[in-house]
Amino acid sequence: MKENIGFLGAGAMGEALIRGLIRARLVPASQIVAWDVRQERLRELKAAYGLETAIGREDLTARADIILLAVKPQNVKEALDGIQIGNGKLVISIIAGVTLAELASFLGAVPLVRAVPNTPALVGEGITALAANDLVGPEDLDKAVAIFSAVGRALVLPEGQLNAVTGLSGSGPAYIYVLIEALADGGVRQGLARPVALELAAQTVLGAARMVLDTGEHPAVLKDKVTSPAGTTIAGLAVLEDRGFRGAVIRAVEAATLRAGNLSKE
């Protein structure tokens, strides 16, 4: 990628993207410029990655061809009010809950992409959903997909589906952590040492997810391959069905989706 990428805000997710871009060799550090209100944070990033730092918002937007907005939602007005985006520049936002229309109210008629990443991006295994306004062409959209593919996977969806994405993949890691903890607790109850049980649980979840992604088979098909007649797995599955495991997960996604919509309105 030949464009300079500017980060307005440089928190944990911003750093994950910076690290991913450099590791994937999508852009060299010399083509990344960052600005943050915390000067010590900029010094940390420069020392860690060798990137460029800007002296202010105006300097950042002047030097970057792709501007990535990574400030906290409560700071969006302060960060974007009065900011000027030059012609031909692409703006990508990872600001939670801020819609394309709200971004346009600050930035005007510019190409805008809204991204909803999740925290596994911090270890290069994230999934990001992207939605774009009508000013974003196919080439710019491909660039946005490439940026987030550097920290996992990326897909393009209508903006109306992003609250559901938040409820599923945005909040989903927390559901999986609870599952891993519960699996480990079950192992401990059956006599396994805590570190052993936790490693078994975490690797089992990781391996099962990899099977779904790599084989392309439906989870139900993969489940049936593990489930032999009158065996151990069907005994465990019967308990999960009896306790409403499947329905509880569905309702969790629903509740988180509704909350995401309310947060956007707030």
Q: Percent of the chain having pLDDT more than 70?
A: 100
What is the CA 266 to chain-centroid distance, rounded? 22
Instruction: Decide if 79 contacts 57 (C-beta within 8 A).
Output: yes
Name the phi and psi angles at 36, rounded to 5.
-150, 150
pLDDT tens digits, residue range 219-265?
A: 999 999 999 999 999 999 999 999 999 999 999 999 999 998 887 77
Please report, in range form, the residues annotated as the binding site. 8-13, 70-73
Average predicted confidence (pLDDT) for the chain: 95
Q: Which two tokens stand for residue 126?
A: 């994230």
Sequential DSSP letters for 197-232 = HHHHHHHHHHHHHHHHHHH---HHHHHHHH--TTSH
Which residue ranges form the domains of the chain, and what is each CATH number?
Answer: 5-162 (3.40.50.720), 170-265 (1.10.3730.10)
**What tokens were used for 9?**
């805000």
Cα–Cα distance list, 34 to 11, 24, 169 (Å) = 11, 18, 27
- pTM of this structure: 0.90
Label the pairing between strands 90-93 and 66-69: parallel
What b/e sequence results for 38-74 when a residue is b if at least 16 CB atoms lie within 10 Å of its CB, and e otherwise? eeebbeebeeebebbbbeebeebbeebbbbbbbbeee
Binding residues for NADP(+): 8-13, 70-73
Helix (H, G, I), strand (E, B) or coil at 136: coil
pLDDT tens sequence across 100-122: 999 999 999 999 999 999 999 99
Kindly report the CA angle at 152 between 40 and 97, in degrees rounded to 5? 65
Query: Rounded CA gap, 53 and 47, in Å?
Result: 11
Cα–Cα dist 128/117, whole Å: 4
> pLDDT (tens digit, 0 to 9) for every residue of the chain, 266 residues total?
899 999 999 889 999 999 999 999 999 999 999 999 899 999 999 999 999 999 999 999 999 999 999 998 888 888 898 898 989 999 999 998 899 999 999 999 999 999 999 999 999 999 999 999 999 999 999 999 999 999 999 999 999 999 999 999 999 999 999 999 999 999 999 999 999 999 999 999 999 999 999 999 999 999 999 999 999 999 999 999 999 999 999 999 999 999 988 877 77
CB 5 within 8 A of CB 147: yes
